[in-house]
Amino acid sequence: MISFYKHNLKKNKNYLKDTISSPYLTSGPVCEKVENLLKKRFNKKFAILSNSWTNGLISILLSLKLKPKDEVIIPACTFVACANVVEMTGAKVVFADIDPKTKLMDLNDCLKKISKNTKVIMPVHLYGSLFNTYKLRKKIRKNIFIIEDSAHAFCGEYNNNPLGKFSDFTVFSFYATKSITCGEGGAIITNHKSYSDKIRSISNNGMTKPAFKRFVNNKYIPWDVYNYGFKSNLSDINASILVDQIKEYSKIAKQKKIIFKKFKKELSKIPQISFPTEKPNKNRDYYLFPIGVEKKFRDKLIEHLLKKRIFVTVNFNSITRLNYYKKKYKRPMCPISENWGLEQLSLPFHVKLKDNEIKTIYFEIKKFFDRNTLKFR
């Protein structure tokens, strides 16, 4: 069996030892430690942990107080949570198509979709490949917020500009399959103090002080509620699993890059496979290993690989094809996203992927096309 994903956690390490012996199991000093690590790593003034990427993004959008007429532009081919969160705030989703080569949001199509009601643009660093936020920032008006969806990228830079530099907010995911994981979790980084305070309050039921900040030097600090909110803070139990991973991520990223390049070199021998294009001058992260095949082959190839106990998946369909959004938004035209959603699949990829497993995957895909190419003509 070749697993689709394996986490980086070390079996012989007790990540929870210090947390279990402390009085704080929910948000406390370990969460604060992780937030400080994030601020230092990304050179940001503020970091707020959340119990998921989704709830982190909800907290941001609630802090912006979106109105029903406000529009949020997202790429059509990404995880559906990007659209769901906008719907939950009552604002309107606007879908931009993707670039046919990189599979990231098409900048030109995004710019065409901007209207007087555009409040937020949410580029996605899909698969770990970085969208050029710098170019986007230069071409849009100043009152449009940029929220980087960095669920797939925990490192990277574009023309020496680090991840998150040109956005108002960047949102990370620490979900079970992500490069850094604590099972469930997320984080927000920003330089906006007023919004940072609002987001932290919203994620703690609107309260101005979390529990462990209400007692300082044996004095009680009163708390109040100025915003409505909900419960989306991360616990110290989860945060304790993140500390060493964040510190060691540069090493993990280098290992994944080596495996990715080796994997791509092997599969490039198969002419029926395509890959998203990587742009020059861009240092990126490596989260998923997507390939494209003709639509007529895709599902049959998946079936073949699963029979061989090689676990693959289709990570993203175009959101415009999903029933809810197709009905509500009358199938907006994003043909490249829709086509890629029907062609793409993700192969096993993780830091523990072995050379012999790469060769097995290559062999089984090649065998499939050797047997089926003539049959499907």
State whether 287 and 308 are in the same domain: yes
Q: Quick one: which of 63, 43, 89 has its CA closest to 200?
A: 63
Q: What is the mean pLDDT of residues 160-166?
A: 88
- Dist CA 19 CA 38 (whole Å): 19
294 part of a folded domain: yes
Q: Quick one: which of 32, 303, 11, 285 has its CA closest to 162?
A: 285
Q: Are 235 and 27 in contact (CB under 8 A)?
A: yes
CB atoms within 10 A of CB 135: 14
**pLDDT at residue 225 in the model:** 82
Kindly tell me if the per-residue pLDDT of 108 is higher than 90. yes
12 part of a folded domain: no
Kindly tell me if the per-residue pLDDT of 232 is higher than 60. yes
Least confident residue range of 14-28, 143-157, 209-223:
209-223
Residue where a domain terminates, one of 247, 270, 304: 247
Domain span at residue 135?
17-247
> What integer best gives the mean pLDDT of the chain?
92
State whether 201 and 155 are in the same domain: yes
223 token code pair: 């708390």
CATH number at residue 287: 3.90.1150.10
Q: Are 285 and 179 in contact (CB under 8 A)?
A: yes
Residue where a domain terminates, one of 247, 280, 310: 247
State whether 66 and 190 are in the same domain: yes
377 part of a folded domain: no
Q: Are 93 and 75 in contact (CB under 8 A)?
A: no
40 part of a folded domain: yes
**pLDDT at residue 280 in the model:** 67
Q: Are 57 and 171 in contact (CB under 8 A)?
A: yes
Give the max Cα distance, the chain. Answer: 78
CATH number at residue 82: 3.40.640.10
**pLDDT at residue 377 in the model:** 52
Higher confidence at residue 132 or residue 376? 132
4 part of a folded domain: no
165 part of a folded domain: yes
State whether 241 and 259 are in the same domain: no
Q: What is the mean pLDDT of residues 168-174?
A: 98
Kindly tell me if the per-residue pLDDT of 282 is higher than 70. no
223: pLDDT confidence band, cut at 50, 70 and 90? confident
Q: How many distinct structural domains can be found in the chain?
A: 2
Residue ranges in the chain assigned as alpha helix (H): 17-20, 29-42, 53-64, 81-89, 107-113, 133-139, 193-202, 236-247, 249-267, 295-307, 323-328, 335-343, 355-372
Kindly tell me if the per-residue pLDDT of 376 is higher than 80. no
Residue with tokens 């849009």: 140
Kindly tell me if the per-residue pLDDT of 285 is higher than 90. yes
State whether 234 and 308 are in the same domain: no
Torsion sign (Cα): 161, 166, 168, 169 = negative
175: pLDDT confidence band, cut at 50, 70 and 90? very high
Which of 10-19, 148-157, 277-286 has maximum average pLDDT?
A: 148-157
Residue 121's identity, in one-letter code, is: I
375: pLDDT confidence band, cut at 50, 70 and 90? low
**pLDDT at residue 213 in the model:** 67
**pLDDT at residue 332 in the model:** 67
Q: Quick one: which of 338, 335, 289 has its CA closest to 317?
A: 338
**pLDDT at residue 337 in the model:** 96
- Dist CA 89 CA 85 (whole Å): 7
78 part of a folded domain: yes
pLDDT digits (tens, 9 = 90+) for 22-65: 777 787 889 999 999 999 999 999 999 999 999 999 999 999 99
Q: Are 233 and 210 in contact (CB under 8 A)?
A: yes
- Dist CA 68 CA 223 (whole Å): 31
Kindly tell me if the per-residue pLDDT of 273 is higher than 70. yes
307 part of a folded domain: yes
Residue where a domain terminates, one of 219, 247, 275: 247
Kindly tell me if the per-residue pLDDT of 338 is higher than 90. yes
State whether 176 and 288 are in the same domain: no
